[in-house]
Amino acid sequence: MDLQSVLNDALGIVRDASGFIRANINNVSSDQVSEKGLNSLVSYVDRQAEEILVKGLSTILPEAGILSEEETVIQSKKPLMWIIDPLDGTTNFLHNVPCFSVSVALAENDRIIAGIVSEVMHDEVFLATAGGGAFLNQSPIHVTDRKEFRDVLVGTGFPYSVDRLEDGHFNALRQVLMSTRGIRRFGSAALDLCYVACGRFGAFYEHTLNPWDIAAGALIVSEAGGLVSDYCGNNKWLYKGEILATAPQFLEEMLEVCAFFGSGE
């Protein structure tokens, strides 16, 4: 498989989905939105964007399975898997907050080998292949080289349901606020990861996530020189539902932050 050729073909399809989303930002009425769960929204834009992705990506690698958020196609587990989030940041999209993305990753036996994250409204495209480095609009990117934890921003997110908030969230927030330039909660985990990759954030942590939220962004961080793990520093992040992405020099500080959640092995 020519991985770079696959990535280039996938990029065109991601651009098509991004263009569709961008064209529909003011076209969704309240009666066209439904709740998958408390504060977890979905619209026809999510579903149609996913259909664009599924149809296009299936022509690139017909043998690959699909793991997607909106389940517009029969989910199938295969050695090669596309992992798709057609609109990461749906709530932002529906409130005209211009921070949402399309995320597409390709996995081989659960190892992410290619990833694309398109920041729809700012025309920024982050991408990476395993061993091939990370790029923003074709320019190489790297995690921050700042030395001091107090000099960086840290990204995070929160569960959709307030019932899933716990003391760990607030204790971790307090620790980050006291130790860094500040904390940011933008509402798109895929973009948060890319912001670590290009040095805008020093680190990012969040749990209650799904593989499609993080698969592409995690590879982009790794290829940009960052470290990706679960809250214990292990490699179980893809399906465990929690992720820590950080510039290497801040790993110790960020593991202390994540320890507030009491994550098990």
The domains of the chain are located at 3-140, 149-261
Domain covering 149-261, topology: D-Maltodextrin-Binding Protein; domain 2 (3.40.190)
pTM, two decimal places: 0.93
**Cα dihedral sign, 96-158-200-19:** negative
In tens digits, what is the pLDDT along the chain, a chain of 265 residues?
899 999 999 999 999 999 999 998 887 655 555 555 444 455 788 889 999 999 999 999 999 999 998 766 667 789 999 999 999 998 899 889 999 999 999 999 999 999 999 999 998 999 999 999 999 999 999 999 999 999 999 999 987 666 667 888 899 999 999 999 999 999 999 999 999 999 999 999 999 899 999 999 999 999 999 999 999 999 999 999 899 999 999 999 999 999 999 754 4
- Are 206 and 100 within 8 A, CB to CB? no
Q: Find residue 119's DSSP bridge partners.
A: 101, 124
Q: Determine whether domain 3-140 maps to CATH 3.30.540.10.
A: yes
Neighbour tally for 82: CB within 10 Å: 25
Cβ contacts of 161-169, under 8 Å, gap ≥ 24: 161/37, 161/38, 161/39, 162/38, 163/38, 164/208, 166/261, 167/260, 168/260, 168/261, 168/262, 169/261
